[in-house]
Amino acid sequence: MPASRADALVFFGATGDLAYKQIFPALQALVSHGHLDMPVVGVAKSGWNLGQLKARAKDSIEKHGSLDPAAFEKLCSQLSYIDGDYGDPTTFKMLRATLGAARRPLFYLAIPPSLFATVAGGLASAGCVEDARVVVEKPFGRDLASARELSRTLHQFFPEESVFRIDHYLGKEPVQNLIYFRFANPLIEASWNHRHVESVQVTMAESFGMAGRGKFYEEAGSIRDVVQNHMLEVIACLAMECPSGKDHEARREERGRLLETVRPLAPSDVVRGQFRGYRQEPGVASDSQVETFAAARFQIENERWQGVPFYVRVGKCLPVTATEVLVKFKHTLRPVLDDIGPSTGSFCRFRLSPEEVIALGARVKRPGVRMAGDNIELVAHYQPPDEMEPYERLLGDAAIGDATLFSRQDTVEASWRIVDPVLGNVVPLHEYEPGTWGPPGLDLTVAPPGGWHDPEASKAAL
């Protein structure tokens, strides 16, 4: 039986940074596309009124989206605001009254996880949780133990099927195309295994630094911030088996099964780095041991991927801003060829951002009598940045109860199990210069066969 559509959207943290950068532009887009025809209630404790919230929403959309006057006017007509303390029962009584006849609200907790229990308890005490759904933002804990504790907290008030853990990376069109491209093309899927793939590498590079997020990063670091969630989700999409059906649990089941087969990281699998100057950032300790760069080597212990290393490299203050996947195929000796060296140029390349690109690397014969060739790249697909932003897609899916692109608790726990052994200062920290590809000597420790692929070269070729 299909899930019921939500009949109201309530977002806590309405005056916060996430609402400003992501939620308001997504709400206008949902209205513009006819997918948000319900009351929208913002809740925060800022001493604001509704007029100030609408002004904030307009400024948000102008800076982080594109103002659509008609859609924005309609959004404002649906918008209301409650200014109240999350620890005050009166706040939730006001919310219940504001919801009126709505009985299937969608609650979006754009607030720190430390406040989840307070807000969930307040909703329950005001009679707001029956038939409701709740959307929570990452991080889903700081390690495996805290992720389990956070789950227990939420499950006091909401069953698992009503909890939507949002990871905006799964809402990106290029990430979904990883799955589609594999299973829609038999030639690709037939070679997607240890018999043909030499290695897989994923780079998520940012050329900028903290951008005012130093205090947050001191509590997270690159492994917690993007490896445990975004990068392992990408690996799951790349490596999972074909889902058995179209329903949302089929895809979530296969992502979860794949992550269960990933071997926990050992210190020898990881390199950590910190860019020179990080400790001078606002909110950062002068002796900080938090990583702004991480490289890791993952092993998937199943029949399809046995022996194939998956490499991940993430970091700030790197030479380029781009996210790219390179699946490198094995070289097969062919006696008829004159050039039988180790470099065949055979690969599949997925650029996930800022553009979406799918390209195939191959070799073609060079003119002349010798059976020798050159590497070429065939661009199979190119698309400018997403037309539908991830938050529009994900909030729309949560409103109709489609959990396909949300993380299940067992998948969250599997991801933490993988990175738990290398959290904290288990792995030494090395300094690197801004604008470089991480700590010196990285290629001697954690690096794919033949070295790391350079997304900067790919970007220059577009």
Catalytic residue list:
230
Q: Would you give the end-to-end CA distance of the chain in angstroms?
A: 46
Nearest to 22 by CA among 132, 123, 108: 108
C-alpha triplet 340, 342, 343: angle, nearest 5°: 100
CA dihedral 239, 164, 79, 114 (to 10 degrees): -110
Nearest to 419 by CA among 327, 326, 291: 291
Residues, the chain:
462
Write the DSSP symbol of residue 288.
Answer: -
C-alpha triplet 386, 391, 393: angle, nearest 5°: 70
C-beta separation of 166 from 406 below 8 A: yes
Rounded CA separation 154/315 (Å): 32
C-beta separation of 78 from 38 below 8 A: yes
Unique residue bearing structure tokens 């038999």: 186
Rounded CA separation 395/75 (Å): 15
> Which residues, other chains included, contact 59 with Cβ-Cβ below 8 Å and sequence gap of 6+?
20
Continuous segment of H or E residues that includes residue 92: helix 89-99
